[in-house]
Amino acid sequence: MANDDFDLIVIGGGSGGVRAGRLSAGFGARVAVIEAREFGGTCVNVGCVPKKLFAYAAHVADDMHDAAGFGWRIEPGHFDWPTLIENKNREIARLNGIYQRLLEQAGATIVRGAARLLDAHSVAVGERRLRSERILIATGGWPQVPAVPGAEHVLTSNDIFHLETLPHRTVVVGGGYIAVEFAGIFNGLGRATTQLYRGALFLRGFDDDARRFLAEEMRKKGIDLRFDADIARITRDLGELELTLTDGSSLRCDLVLYATGRKPNTRGLGLQQVGVSLRADGAIEVDANYRSSVPSIYAIGDVTDRVNLTPVALAEGTALAWHLFRDGGKAVDYEFIPSTIFSTPNLGTVGYSEAQARAKFGDVAIYRSSFTPLKHTLSGSSEKTLMKLVVERATDRVIGAHMVGPDAGETIQGLAIALKAGATKTLFDRTIGIHPTAAEEWVTMREPVA
């Protein structure tokens, strides 16, 4: 039985944990990083990276369709799912290796296996015992499936990336960004796709205009969107799945994906036994410096269930390493965090939605434009783009920007800098646009909507 002493033990080798561990080791701390699976966490293995690779694959069908309007004659292609999976696996393995090498090069000790807290300073990994002045929990989140009869027949987003074959008829259950993205992926790969959401409109928390606009565009693509709809029961019949909905109707399909949320991955860690306070959903409660109710135990990223985005976990890992082993000068600013849903088409956003802005700032001006991009004047596609600015009237400051359209994330990232810097609508108006681009619309919207 080995005994190891460290300055920091990190449980979880995802983006936040690796960043905190690598920087802390670089600052001279003795660091151990414990990981039971592959390095990179959700984002690298079953999240952002493979999902966007799948989204790229799905968009190829649109590109082939659009090509005809530009004079290209492309024969109907054949999509080969195993090839996509093989190429995806190769890229993920490369990224796993990079994450591990970053830790090794920084001097961190890597420990493989499942961790369990013994007390406020001790962790068990199998027969090995590790002790540290501080412990960081960075174990991320895990998909959750509600207790619907027949739930044993469904898959989660973790499973989709390892399917040997992709069935022809898919049903996606959920109204968050994961559900929306996979509905677009399945549809783009030529699968008959239905998305069910129990609420009146998906993507709760995003700007209402953007939500409605995206729903319209997804329906144009052929996705069967059904709101105020949910599954009551799932049964298997002759190799098919039969879904009985809460309204009494039924659906038959080959695959059901539940993307109904992720919960903090805290089960089995022994947190409550050592006195760490958890919320009802299992999230670790932390203060401004990511410290839990036990002074020696910290938590960052999705396991705290606050802002569940990979770049936020990275920023928190950086801030914590500086707080613990340097001068603490890297605090995270959580206002104006940009994000993008890699739906079909993309939805990008930064700052406040119109509803949020009215609730917080009162008098706001709204600038909105929807249009057919130049590309689609020849492509024959009916896809449109939406851009929207939310402006605080009292200061003329732009406090929200929302876009539905191709590569929305690439555009919103630049706008995020402007909003972070406090740019006013007057500055937007004085900026020269790049013509012809969709992005120039951001600086040519002159009149607020009624």
Token representation of residue 192: 């008959």
Q: Nearest 10 degrees: CA dihedral of 352, 353, 356, 357?
A: 60
With CA atoms as reference, report the closest residue to 412 among 356, 346, 333.
Answer: 346
The active-site residue out of 65, 78, 162, 435 is: 435
DSSP per position, 187-200: HHTT-EEEEEESSS
Half-sphere exposure of 14 (CA within 13 A, CB side): 33
Write out the H or E segment, with its range, that includes residue 210.
helix 208-220
Q: Exposure of 82 by Cβ count < 10 A (0-12 exposed, 13-18 middle, 19+ buried)? A: exposed
Write out the H or E segment, with its range, that includes residue 123.
strand 122-125
Provide the pairing of β-strand 224-227 with 192-197: parallel
With CA atoms as reference, report the closest residue to 54 among 85, 12, 94.
Answer: 85
Cβ distance 313 to 27 under 8 Å? no
Q: Is 435 labeled as catalytic in the residue annotation?
A: yes
21 φ/ψ angles, rounded to the nearest 5 degrees: -65, -45
Residue with tokens 């008829």: 169
DSSP per position, 47-108: SHHHHHHHHHHHHHHHHHHHHGGGT---PPP---HHHHHHHHHHHHHHHHHHHHHHHHHHTP
Half-sphere exposure of 65 (CA within 13 A, CB side): 14
Active-site amino acid positions:
435
